[in-house]
Amino acid sequence: MMAGGSCFLAVSAEAFKKHRTPCEIAYPSDAAIEWECRRLKSGDSLEKLFGERWVDVARFNRIDRRHARSGASLKVPKRIEDLASFTPLPLEYPAAESEEQFILIDLAEQFLGAYEYGALRFAIPIVSGNGENETPTGEFRLTAAHQSHQSCLYTIEGTNRPYPMNYALRFFVNRVGVSYWIHGRDLPGYPASHGCVGLYDESMQQEQYGIPKDPEVNDAKKLFEWVLGGAPEDERVIPLPNGPRLQIIGEAPKSEP
């Protein structure tokens, strides 16, 4: 995070030691799906193991393809079809019945839900604060949108390139001027951010890391265009004087001992 600017969801060395694989993270909804922990071997990939259902498994683990690599341990459902309708969020949210657009983020589940008049339109996995840098909870509104946002403080590891924070939606600025955004980033499978809320952006990962070869999932763009009603005409920062209401609840999970 940085005062007067943006917060960036980076994985610190300490956080990485604490949270190594999705199997170590417990979510309330884990009990709804029978699963077993499987360690990925050399040559394994989500696509190779699960075919067309790889996206379902990735979402269940709150992980992206770049991090689902050899040595990672994933929660694998005993019946893959159980994931077809999986969502840890309520299908109806009465508190949002009068809202044309409403966003619910459940930190305990590491999931975001987009609601229209109280009905769930779509649900997507997130990555939130890493325990040392918490994502704020409470009631907020989206106040700005920026399609090509980037960090002025953090870079792509091993380079001097600013870390992209594409499809950014600002929801909070604290008393010292630190801005919190929802934006595209890596999803390593555990809470890892400096306070912002991160969503899948495989196009960014392909551009910056060369992985995945064929980007398919871009939840950051999906949410961004849902909020704005389509793609913006340019890349300027767009004020949202009456942006959708956002509620952030719960507490991010800790790794299992």
Q: Whole-angstrom Cα distance, residue 149 to residue 236?
A: 9
70 and 181 assigned to the same domain: no
62 and 126 assigned to the same domain: no
* Pair 219, 124: CB distance under 8 Å: yes
Q: Which residues pair with 17 in a beta bridge?
A: none
Q: Please give the pLDDT value at position 153.
A: 64
- Confidence band of 155 (pLDDT split at 50, 70, 90): low
CATH number at residue 166: 2.40.440.10
For 77, the domain range is: 22-83
Q: Which CA distances in Å does 64 have to 51, 193, 215, 233?
A: 15, 15, 11, 29
Of 98-102, 149-153, 199-203, 206-210, give the lowest mean pLDDT range: 149-153
30 and 76 assigned to the same domain: yes
Q: Please give the pLDDT value at position 138.
A: 98
* Pair 251, 108: CB distance under 8 Å: yes
Last residue of a domain, one of 35, 57, 83: 83
Domains in the chain: how many in total?
A: 2
Q: Bigger pLDDT: 147 or 139? A: 139
Q: Please give the pLDDT value at position 9.
A: 36
Q: 206: part of which helix (H) or strand (E)?
A: helix 202-209
79 and 99 assigned to the same domain: no
Q: pLDDT (tens digit, 9 = 90+) per residue, 89-129?
A: 999 999 999 999 999 999 999 999 999 999 999 999 999 99
In a domain, 150, yes or no: yes
167 and 129 assigned to the same domain: yes
pTM of the model: 0.90
62 and 178 assigned to the same domain: no
Three-state secondary structure call for residue 186? coil
Q: What is the mean pLDDT of the chain?
A: 89
In a domain, 254, yes or no: no
67 and 178 assigned to the same domain: no
Report the pLDDT averaged over residues 135-154: 88
109 and 202 assigned to the same domain: yes
62 and 109 assigned to the same domain: no
Report the pLDDT averaged over residues 163-183: 91
- Confidence band of 162 (pLDDT split at 50, 70, 90): confident
76 and 174 assigned to the same domain: no
